Amino acid sequence: MKLPKEECENAAFVLEKTIKALKKKDAPALKSLSDKTIHSSCTYQDSGTTTSAVLIYALSKIIEREDYKKMIDWDKFEKKAIDLFNLAIDALKKNKHEAYEKYILQTRKLLEQTAGSLKDYIKEVLRKSSINKASKLYEHGISSEQTAHLLGLSQWEIAEYLGTKTEIKQKEKITIEKRAKIALQFFS
């Protein structure tokens, strides 16, 4: 799907901010940028923007936990990722959406390849990031089937996460006092 010009400009702006946040190791800024990107993904439902949101969120988690310090070639990864982000920005500015998607996917693959001894961990961070973003898409009204398609997940993975999240929210809503009151009413 081709993005409208204003959305291409927005995606380019997000990637420019992503580069700055990545250089500064600013995890909260990366997380915020990912959240902004997911809103666009909900509107246009394109794989490039969705993959970008997942990738930026995964980078926020890696930096937040300081896992990047354990990666031998992190500096090389960062430089190559920034180069790929810049190519993606150029593609967006020229409204070449397929090229943009290609560069974002290359960046994700680069992260997986750079992981070294953390390869399984990085794959899990990317999977969890995908599931996290899937829940955001679903909350914005995108069907679980479409969400699964956009993120390369199974509907089962999404349903399992959403079920757990719903259980937690339901538990949070019922306070101990309310539970006691319900129990007293039940036994009266």
Q: What one-character DSSP code corresponds to residue 174?
A: S
pTM for the whole thing? 0.75
**DSSP string of 93-149, one letter each residue:** HTT-HHHHHHHHHHHHHHHHHHTGGGHHHHHHHHHHHHHHHHHHHHHTT--HHHHHH
Quote the pLDDT of residue 125: 84
| More confident: 180 or 71 | 71
- Report the SS3 class of residue 153: coil
What is the signed CA dihedral for 3, 149, 35, 89, rounded to 10 degrees?
-40
- How far apart, in whole angstroms, are the C-alpha atoms of residue 185 and residue 177? 12
pLDDT in tens, 154-178: 777 777 766 655 443 444 456 677 7
**DSSP string of 64-89, one letter each residue:** HTTGGGG-TTHHHHHHHHHHHHHHHH
Phi-psi region of 17 (alpha: psi -120 to 50; beta: other; left: phi over 0): alpha
Domain boundaries, the chain: 5-153
